[in-house]
Amino acid sequence: MPITRLTKPDSKFRLDDVSTDPPRDATKQEAAERLKELGEELLELQELMWGARTHSILIVLQGRDAAGKDGAIKNVVGALNPRGVTVSSFGVPTKEEREHDFLWRIHRQAPRAGEFAIFNRSHYEDVLVVRVHDLAPKALWGERYGHINDFEELLAEHGTIVIKFFLHISKKEQEKRLLEREENPSTAWKLNVNDWKEREHWDEYTEAYDEVFRRCSAKHAPWYIVPADAKWYRNLVVAETVAETMREYRDGWLKTLERNGKAGREELDEYRRSRGGRNKG
């Protein structure tokens, strides 16, 4: 699968150069079959990570309104054991949150060893919406790219596997989805005039995102640009990417589990031996 993966700073990257469509040869039918396999694999990998407790996963989801962040989350989480998965949504900061530094509310939701944390929006809003709408002085948000890089490095050093997705939709697809919401009573709760207002800032958001991808891409915290005009392809790319990332840790987790299992059995044996003479049974 041709995935746009950014693993280092690149001052030339342009979001507009990346297609929002699935590749020509991808089919919905094949994607559905593959997605089923991936679901099983993800569950197995999750169990290994849970048991080994050496790593955790942080999935960051960013995208414009109607890009499908909720749908992508539902799809990944649906494959997992809900024990050990938390989903956090970051909206307009509360008063208490505004009275702290921008990473305060984010860091508290970082995953524990063995667990998954999924972020619906994230610390990146503080260099996106904040930048586009002048919600803080440039002197403040301009320093945040560096803080974000340091923060993600800290997480990675602690064993957190950081995977960042940008769900990439076209302006036309966004319009279609926003209009659909108005027609369908079951999605009308999502209606938000703000989405149409934000749409008027499309190009400014593109610039803000370009800067994010140019400056906040790292090997330990890569960005994946997901063509998201087709929901089935978006779901496939996200699941495939998470599985592919976790697969590299599989052997290590298995070794840890074997070692821990052996230590556990030895402890049990010793306990039984110590009771050997007395109170048997």
Residues 200-239 binding ligand AMP (CB under 6 A) are none
Beta carbons of 125 and 60 less than 8 angstroms apart? no
Residue 93: which of ligand AMP, Mg ion, none does it interact with, CB under 5 to 8 A by kind?
ligand AMP
Residue 1 Cβ vs Mg ion, minimum distance, rounded to whole Å: 28
Site string for Mg ion, 55-84 (x = CB under 5 A): ----------x-------------------
The DSSP string of 217-235 is: -BTTB-EEEEE-SSHHHHH
Per-position DSSP letters for 93-150, written without gaps between them: --HHHHTS-TTHHHHTTSPPTT-EEEEES-GGGGGTHHHHTT-S-HHHHTTHHHHHHH
130, interface contact from Mg ion, ligand AMP, none, CB < 5-8 Å by kind: ligand AMP
* CB of 201 closer than 8 Å to CB of 132: yes
| Closest CB 29 distance from Mg ion, rounded Å | 31
Q: Which is nearer to ligand AMP, 41 or 65 (CB)?
A: 65
Q: What, of ligand AMP, Mg ion, none, does residue 281 touch, CB below 5 to 8 Å by kind?
A: none
Judge contact between 270 and 61, C-beta under 8 A.
Answer: no
Which of residues 183 and 248 has its CB atom nearest to Mg ion in the complex?
183
Are 108 and 58 in contact by the 8 Å Cβ rule? The answer is: no
CB of 105 to ligand AMP, least distance (A): 9
* Distance in angstroms (rounded) separating the CA atoms of residues 270 and 281: 15
Per CB under 6 A, residues contacting ligand AMP are 65, 90-93, 121, 125-126, 129-130, 135
